[in-house]
């Protein structure tokens, strides 16, 4: 059975003390996770060890970094490498979030190097892909997103790519006043799985969790997660509110 994931992306939010309070409230809630369900907390770098300590040995909870550098070490002031994350036993790392692509000019080629660094250090990449409004309006979203996969992931062997997580973020539906319908979400997720199947075969394509990252909220999570190719969500603002995020967690199939 394919893994289902509710991933909290705190971005650059919350003080250390607020993060502790939020984690405690979520972790103290009886969520009834199934064996194939997992909750990720992608927290700012200074909060990684605190989050790991609070999670402890609870089943179904993991910590994720929001980014890593594409080199393993060097004179890159302010950056954090995958080996550093591995030394803290960080389980997951977001790679290629739309905000980093936009604000930090991260290219598909750079992201391929970041994916490799994660794999080399036994960190599971949560690879983010998705199209901006101009691409969606031009009707070329399929070609755009498939290029992101091909240039950043398709150098991996089938045994490796089957271990990663992919998150689809329709950038045009985040903060624009436009919304993606559940039909549009399922259509793109099914397309992504078909692109992977064409490259690696059906068995591999069916193993990879595909998360939706377009303004998942407590009120729409159940409807979104009912789609057959949507295996959970990469959650931004709603993950900063305990009652909302626990509702989203419970919405997993």
Q: Which positions are catalytic?
A: 97, 169
**Rounded CA separation 78/115 (Å):** 20
Contacting residues for 103 by C-beta, under 8 A, at least 6 apart: none
Cα separations in angstroms, 236 against 105, 178, 225? 21, 17, 16
Among residues 249, 148, 146, 239, the alpha carbon closest in space to that of 188 is found at 146
Q: Look up tokens 């931004």; give the residue.
A: 236
| Coil, helix or strand at residue 163 | coil
Residue 250: how many other CB atoms lie within 10 Å: 17
For residue 244, which phi and psi values (nearest 5 degrees)? -70, -45
Do 83 and 50 contact (CB within 8 A), yes or no? no
| Helix 108-120 with 141-152: angle, nearest 10 deg | 40
Q: Which residues share a beta bridge with 6?
A: 39, 233
The residues pairing with 95 across neighbouring beta strands, listed in sequence order, are 127
Q: What's the start-to-end Cα distance of the chain, in Å?
A: 11
């Amino acid at each position: 059975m394919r893994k289902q994931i509710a991933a909290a992306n705190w971005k650059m939010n919350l003080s250390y003390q607020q993060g502790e309070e939020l984690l405690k409230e979520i972790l103290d809630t009886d969520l009834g996770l199934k064996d194939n369900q997992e909750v990720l907390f992608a927290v700012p770098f200074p909060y990684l060890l605190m989050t790991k300590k609070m999670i402890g040995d609870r089943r179904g909870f993991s910590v994720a970094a929001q980014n890593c550098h594409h080199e393993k070490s060097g004179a890159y002031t302010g950056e954090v490498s995958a080996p550093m994350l591995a030394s803290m036993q960080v389980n997951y790392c977001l790679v290629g979030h739309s905000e980093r692509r936009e604000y930090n000019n991260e290219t598909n080629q750079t992201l391929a190097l970041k994916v490799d660094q994660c794999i080399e250090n036994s960190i599971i990449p949560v690879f983010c892909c998705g199209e901006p409004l101009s691409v969606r309006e031009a009707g070329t979203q399929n070609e755009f997103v498939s290029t992101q996969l091909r240039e950043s992931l398709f150098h991996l062997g089938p045994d490796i790519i089957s271990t990663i997580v992919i998150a689809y973020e329709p950038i045009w539906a985040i903060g624009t006043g436009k919304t993606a319908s559940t039909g549009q979400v399922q259509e793109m997720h099914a397309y992504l799985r078909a692109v992977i199947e064409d490259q690696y075969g059906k068995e591999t394509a069916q193993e990879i969790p595909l998360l939706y990252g377009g303004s998942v909220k407590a009120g729409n999570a159940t409807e979104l997660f009912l789609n057959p190719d949507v295996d959970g969500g990469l959650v931004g603002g709603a993950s900063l509110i305990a009652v909302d995020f626990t509702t989203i967690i419970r919405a997993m199939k």
